[in-house]
Amino acid sequence: MDFTLSNELENLRQRVSKFVSDEIMPVEADPNSFDDHENIAPEPLKKLREKAKANGLWSPQMPVQRGGLGLNTVGMAVFYEEAGRSRFGPVCMNCAAPDDGNMILLERCATEEQKDRWLQPIIDGRVRSSIMMTEPAPGAGSDPTSMLTTASPKGNDTWVIDGHKWFITGAEGAEHFILLARTSDDTHHNLTTFLFHRDDPGWEILRRIPIMGPEEHGGHCEIQFSGLEIPDANRLMGVGEGMKSVQIRLGTARLTHCMRWLGMAKRAIEECLEYVGTRKNFGMLLSEHEGVQWMLADAAMDIEIGRLMTMRAAAKLDSGDQARKEVSMAKIFVSELLHKSIATAIQLNGARGYSKDLPLEWMYRYAPQAKLVDGASEVHKMVIARNLLSQGMDFWSWD
């Protein structure tokens, strides 16, 4: 239970922090850096990604032999939190969702041939990727086993896909797709995972769904499949192992969301510290009012608790444990503290907190998705309760 970072990791943390401060923050501060969907525009993104690569701050989650930094989950927690200080940070260092989780899944589960074809271009930053699970009602949402999109065998070596998906992040700009589809009616093994390319015929984007917050590159899309043919060689893992692949992806991907959100929550508080330290009313600085101190203390405590929960889950994942309850608890807690920290920062900035002069209103519109993506909070509570009910008092056992 030693929270000391190795010299190597601390050095990397400082380099990420400096890169965000020196290179990314000035770009983020320029309104011309944004695209029409309130994310970083292609030109500044390209330049910053090249700089990040040149500075050795690229694909932290991927093995060194494939061009990444080879960090374990604890190392990723340190890196991603620093990167998350800027809204542009993670995507500039190739550790933003959904590519991040997609790379992790492919790295763990694909064959070497599949990795060369489908994973390596994402690691290199040459293509982007999407994962397709969610469907409009009555199809799969919180419960993937209710999936209606089908993969039917054609001959011995081809699958034919028909169905309807939505909220597929990044689909408009992605080239490599990971698709979950139903291959049988077996209760536990009814899903299979496939890989396909943007140019394969038999599918289309119906629309880019307008959302309340800023968008990831490529938007959140509604998709129709009508006879997309996928060779069996592009099946990821075994037939019926789709849920297993989802669990492998989401275990770490949910936690990497927490890591980035902690960086954003810290940034929100950073955005009010100068104001409360300089703005005077009723004869003293805002920071000298006890009521303000309590708000800051609550935010600071929440963030620190979230960091400890995230680190604990990261360490468990690194030990080979699935850390289901730890990841679920961290996901719920961090998604809530993200929202609360931003709200506190808006409030303490007074009227300017409500303006677009600060990044806080952007963050406030972004934050609600944290309670939905990769599992709604209520579903994570279900997982936690199941663990408590089956483990009893051992729920709280130390390792």
Ligand X SMILES: Cc1cc2nc3c(=O)[nH]c(=O)nc-3n(C[C@H](O)[C@H](O)[C@H](O)COP(=O)(O)OP(=O)(O)OC[C@H]3O[C@@H](n4cnc5c(N)ncnc54)[C@H](O)[C@@H]3O)c2cc1C
Q: Across-strand partners of 37?
A: none
At its nearest, how many Å lie between ligand X and the CB of residue 394? 24
Apex 23 CA angle, 272 and 98, nearest 5: 85
Shortest spacing between CB 105 and ligand X, in angstroms: 12
246 binds ligand X (CB under 6 A): no
The nearer residue to ligand X, 44 or 219, going by C-beta atoms, is 219
Nearer to ligand X, 95 or 373 (CB): 373
The length of the chain is: 399
Instruction: Count the site residues for ligand X by CB under 6 A.
Output: 21
Give me the least distance between CB of 8 and ligand X, in Å please: 33
Interface pick for ligand X out of 132, 181, 358, 360 (rule CB under 6 A): 132
Of the two residues 25 and 376, which places its CB atom closer to ligand X in the complex?
376
Q: DSSP states of 151-207 as a string?
A: EEEETTTEEEEEEEEEEEETTTT-SEEEEEEE----SSS-EEEEEEETTSSSEEEEE
Interacting residues with ligand X between 325 and 384 (CB under 6 A): 369, 372-376, 378-379, 382
By CB under 6 A, residue 38 contacts ligand X = no
Peptide bond before residue 98 is cis, with ω within 30 degrees of 0:
yes
Is residue 5 within the footprint of ligand X (CB under 6 A)? no
Residue given tokens 């989780």 in the structure block: 101
Q: Which residues contact 298 (CB under 8 A, 6 or more apart)?
A: 340, 344
**Residue among 90, 141, 219, 242 that touches ligand X (CB under 6 A):** 141
Rounded CA-CA distance 333/305 in Å is: 9
Tell the smallest beta-carbon distance from residue 65 to ligand X (Å): 28
Q: Which is nearer to ligand X, 349 or 369 (CB)?
A: 369
Residue 380 to residue 323: CA distance in whole angstroms: 12
The residue number with the shortest CB distance to ligand X is 141
**Which span (27-35, 58-66, 69-77, 131-139) binds ligand X, by CB under 6 A?**
131-139
Say whether 364 sits in a helix, a strand or coil: helix
Strand duo 235-236 + 158-169: pairing: unpaired
Nearest approach in angstroms of CB 149 to ligand X is: 11
Shortest separation between residue 152's beta carbon and ligand X, angstroms: 21
Contact flag: residue 142 with ligand X (CB under 6 A): yes
* 148-167 positions binding ligand X, by CB under 6 A: 167
Segment (H or E) for 230: strand 220-231
| 3-state SS, residue 27 | helix
The H-or-E segment that residue 314 falls in is helix 290-318
Q: How far is the CB of 297 from ligand X (least distance, A)?
A: 30
Looking at beta carbons only, is 130 or 287 nearer to ligand X?
130
Nearer to ligand X (CB atom), residue 180 or residue 348: 180
Q: Which residue, chain included where needed, has tokens 């991603």?
A: 80
Binding mask 79-98 for ligand X (x = CB under 6 A): -------------------x
Q: Which residues contact 338 (CB under 8 A, 6 or more apart)?
A: 261, 262, 264, 265, 367, 370
Residue type for position 165: K
Cis amide prior to 138 (ω within 30 degrees): yes
**169 is a contact residue toward ligand X (CB under 6 A):** yes
How near is the Cβ of 56 to ligand X at its closest, in Å? 29
CA atoms within 13 A of residue 127's CA, in its CB half-sphere: 18
Query: Which residue from 20, 24, 104, 131 is in contact with ligand X, where contact means CB under 6 A?
Result: 131
Residue ranges in contact with ligand X by CB under 6 A: 98, 130-134, 141-142, 167-169, 220, 369, 372-376, 378-379, 382
